[in-house]
């Protein structure tokens, strides 16, 4: 197949490109090379691929690129927690307007297959159970509780601490940050496009992706990159809350494998089908910081308390649906992935 990869020069997109070419596909990369994630010029790992530098919001450009494309792998997005609500227009413009323009272009060109880079952030908090009231949806954590070091969500009915579990794809969407809201909107836009056109969409809800080529030294970087940058400066990683927040850290090569499988297997029904892309091996934020410090021989993490607005406590994924529908199983263990990540090449953002 000939596959257009938007964001194809980026962290995840470039690994998908490498994997698809290894599988015998023909890829075309489109990337705006945003300075939040890239330095000056295309990164060296794009050298073996056809790259067009341009914006996914450029309808005229898409009209030239999409004819002859069999499927689109849509990775282009502003990612990360960001700085503050002043980022909202940029997030909406890149993530949602960009997706809308792409979908319109696909319709005009007759391209009916989409694999979307979804995100676990659409869930907000993960799954929780109360010993008395069963499965419940916790509300937002209050500033007073966070300031007092009460980090665990409470049952809205009785106030007891909740027990976190595995969140499945049928969980209601509850985005709690600007980035999360734009990722949920991408899914709604893609679902509407599929219903109107008869197209198909896999939304691969990535959990905490890490690995080589991550952007570094930017507020849009992932937590693994932030911790590693601190250690390289000789500083202790600063861990928010109590460090016991649970996440699923999935290696970028496994994410690329999931995309390859999604392109090879049609969804089971028309419309949009969501899949968790995760390792199935939950760890805490403190585990990640401690493991990186141990591997690098750097200072031990410092737990500093507090929390960023919009942060959630626990999001741990159920990997069963991805295993059942596309045969995806993560191959990289947490220990092996973090050990390699300590020296993996990262990408410095533009300083201008």
Q: What is the mean pLDDT of residues 61-78?
A: 97
User: How many domains does one find in the chain?
Assistant: 1
Residue 17 lies in a domain: yes
The token duo for 192 is: 């509407």
Q: Is residue 158 part of a domain?
A: no
Within a domain: 132: no
Asked whether residue 281 is assigned to any structural domain, the reply reads: yes
**In sequence order, which residues have a C-beta less than 8 Å from that of residue 317 and are 6 or more positions away?**
120, 126, 166, 167, 205, 207, 248, 276, 278, 280
List pLDDT tens digits, range 253-283. Answer: 999 999 999 999 999 988 999 999 999 999 9
Residue 92 resides in a domain: yes
Q: Spell out the alpha helix ranges (H) of the chain.
A: 11-22, 59-65, 88-91, 98-109, 143-147, 178-197, 223-232, 252-264, 285-296, 320-326, 334-341
218/80 Cα distance (integer angstroms): 10
Tell me the per-residue pLDDT of 171-220, one tens digit each, with 9 for 90 and over. Answer: 999 998 999 999 999 999 999 999 999 999 999 999 999 999 998 877 66
Which pTM was predicted?
Answer: 0.94
Could you tell me if residue 325 is inside a domain?
Answer: yes
- Do the Cβ atoms of 300 and 291 come closer than 8 Å? no
What is the CATH classification number for the domain harbouring 233?
3.40.50.720
Domain residue limits at 177: 2-126+167-342
Query: How far apart are alpha carbons 225 and 342 in whole angstroms?
Result: 10
The per-residue pLDDT of the chain, averaged, comes to 93
**Structural domain includes residue 149:** no
Over residues 120-147, the mean pLDDT reads 91
Which one, of 194, 206, 140, lies nearest residue 169 by Cα?
206
206 is catalytic: no
Is 89 within 8 Å of 176 (Cβ atoms)?
no
- Position 37 scores a pLDDT of 67
pLDDT category of residue 352 using cuts at 50, 70 and 90: very low
Q: Tell whether 91 is covered by a domain.
A: yes
Catalytic residue among 91, 123, 128, 179: 179
């Amino acid at each position: 197949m000939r596959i257009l990869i938007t964001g194809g020069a980026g962290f995840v997109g470039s690994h998908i490109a490498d994997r698809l070419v290894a599988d015998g596909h023909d890829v075309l990369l489109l990337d705006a090379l945003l300075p939040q994630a890239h330095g000056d010029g295309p990164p060296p790992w794009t050298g073996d691929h056809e790259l067009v530098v341009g914006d996914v919001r450029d309808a005229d450009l898409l009209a030239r690129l999409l004819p002859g494309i069999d499927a689109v792998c849509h990775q282009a997005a502003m990612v990360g927690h960001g700085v503050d609500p002043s980022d909202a227009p940029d997030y909406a413009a890149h993530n949602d307007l960009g997706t809308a323009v792409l979908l319109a272009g696909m319709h005009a060109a007759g391209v009916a297959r989409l694999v979307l880079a979804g995100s676990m952030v659409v869930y907000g908090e993960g799954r929780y159970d109360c010993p008395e009231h069963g499965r419940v949806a916790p509300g937002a954590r209050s500033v007073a509780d966070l300031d007092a070091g009460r980090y665990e969500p409470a049952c809205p009915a009785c106030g007891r601490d909740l027990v976190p579990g595995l969140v499945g794809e049928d969980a209601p969407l509850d985005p709690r940050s600007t980035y999360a809201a734009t990722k949920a909107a991408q899914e709604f836009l893609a679902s509407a496009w599929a219903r109107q056109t008869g197209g198909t969409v896999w939304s691969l809800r990535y959990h905490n992706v890490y690995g080589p080529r991550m952007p570094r030294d930017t507020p849009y970087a992932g937590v693994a990159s932030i911790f590693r940058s601190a250690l390289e400066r000789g500083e202790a990683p600063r861990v928010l809350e109590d460090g016991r927040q649970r996440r699923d850290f999935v290696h970028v090569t496994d994410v690329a494998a999931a995309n390859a499988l999604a392109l090879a297997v049609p969804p089971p029904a028309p419309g949009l089908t969501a899949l968790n892309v995760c390792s199935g091996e939950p760890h805490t934020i403190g585990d990640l910081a401690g493991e990186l410090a141990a591997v690098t021989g750097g200072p031990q993490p410092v737990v500093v308390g507090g929390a960023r607005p919009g942060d959630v406590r626990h999001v741990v994924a159920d990997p069963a649906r991805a295993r059942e529908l596309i045969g995806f199983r993560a191959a990289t263990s947490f220990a092996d992935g973090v050990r390699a990540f300590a020296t993996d090449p990262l990408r410095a953002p533009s300083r201008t």
